[in-house]
Amino acid sequence: MNPIAISLFSIAVTILVSSDIQNVQSILSKASVSENGAVVITDRSDGFVRRNPNHDELAILENIADSWRGIFDTHLSEVAPTPKEQLVILRVCEALSSEEYLEVLEAAIQFVKQGDLAPEVVFRAVIGQGEKDGFVAFNYKSSRVQQLLDDVLEVAVGTDYELLFLKAKRGDLVRNVVLARQNSGRPLPESIGQDGSVVGAGKESDQLPAVRVDQGEALSPGVTVGNEGDEGGTTGLIVFFGGALLIVLFIVVAARYSGKFKSKY
């Protein structure tokens, strides 16, 4: 798409959102993301009853996802002033294509750096809460995903998410994603190439790390974590030498008592 087309598209999206801004505000004021990642509506008039979105509400939520560029560029502070609304916007964007969702995440982390989005909202979006859960971790080999995780780690330092994103960056979470998808009967996330374009259906064999890193990796100043694959070997050596030492001590003690027994009788 050429620059002129992109500009016209952005203007069209902004106008679309502006013409329907009250509906967007209304739905976001009632919507939230549940613990299992579903978007639910809370009807305050019915005593805070939570329910699934109806047909009209789903149409507005889909419109929010399709118009995310206009919302981010012009209306973010207006329609999503709190993390609750921001989380709903990013959650409905998971229905977008894999390529476009990656663009959403790249834009979102820049808004975090500017102070316009809550960091934890974007952290949860990177992890994925619905259709795109595990998508980023599964595609850690993509250079665009690696850059995204670098940007995320800049703002995740010192948080509970830091170690998780470090593991995602080196591919340690791929097996977790595969197992979670298999247990829920869902296909693997789509595989994306170095440039972020979809290259096909996800395959476990294509994404598993070929080689584990042996050196420790810095988590924060003064703290490192080593290769998880080395733990078994280190433990085995400790057990081996510890057992050998106990045997030697037993022989020495037995010999001493044996000598005393002979001298006495």
pLDDT digits (tens, 9 = 90+) for 75-93: 888 899 999 999 999 999 9
Whether residue 141 is found in the same domain as residue 159: yes
Whether residue 26 is found in the same domain as residue 115: no
Whether residue 242 is found in the same domain as residue 257: yes
Q: Which of 42, 66, 95 is the last residue of a domain?
A: 95
Whether residue 158 is found in the same domain as residue 76: no
Whether residue 82 is found in the same domain as residue 118: no
Whether residue 109 is found in the same domain as residue 91: no
**In this predicted structure, what is the pLDDT of residue 132?**
96
pLDDT digit string (tens) for 206-223?
555 543 433 333 323 333
Sheet holding 31-33, edge to edge: 31-33, 39-43, 49-51
Cα 141–Cα 144–Cα 145 angle in degrees, nearest 5: 55
Whether residue 253 is found in the same domain as residue 195: no
Pairing of strands 198-200, 217-220: unpaired
**Domain that residue 255 falls in:** 229-265
Q: Which of 95, 116, 138 is the last residue of a domain?
A: 95
Whether residue 168 is found in the same domain as residue 243: no
Whether residue 49 is found in the same domain as residue 86: yes
**In this predicted structure, what is the pLDDT of residue 253?**
46
Q: Identify the CA nearest to 32 among candidates 23, 42, 24, 22.
A: 42
Whether residue 183 is found in the same domain as residue 199: yes
**In this predicted structure, what is the pLDDT of residue 23?**
86
Write down the pTM of the prediction.
Answer: 0.70
Q: Which of 47, 68, 95 is the last residue of a domain?
A: 95
Q: Identify the CA nearest to 122 among candidates 95, 98, 99, 155.
A: 155
Whether residue 205 is found in the same domain as residue 111: yes
Whether residue 111 is found in the same domain as residue 221: yes
HEC sequence for the chain: CCHHHHHHHHHHHHHHHHHCHHHHHHHHHHEEECCCCCEEEEEHHHCCEEECCCHHHHHHHHHHHHCHHHHHHHHHHHHCCCHHHHHHHHHHHHHCCHHHHHHHHHHHHHHHHHCCCCHHHHHHHHHCCCCCCCHHHHCCCCHHHHHHHHHHHHHHCCCCCHHHHHHHHCCCCHHHHHHHHHHCCCCCCCEECCCCCEEECCCHHHHCCCCCCCCCEEEECCEEECCHHHHHHHHHHHHHHHHHHHHHHHHHHHHHHHHHHHHHC
Q: Could you list the pLDDT tens digit for every one of the 265 residues in the chain?
A: 455 444 444 444 444 445 578 888 999 999 999 989 999 999 876 666 789 999 999 999 999 999 999 999 888 888 999 999 999 999 999 999 999 999 999 999 999 999 999 999 999 999 999 999 999 999 999 999 999 999 999 999 999 999 999 999 999 999 999 999 999 999 999 999 887 887 766 555 555 554 343 333 332 333 333 334 444 444 444 444 455 555 545 554 455 545 543 444 4
Q: How many domains does the chain have?
A: 3
**In this predicted structure, what is the pLDDT of residue 242?**
55
Tokens of 88: 């709903």
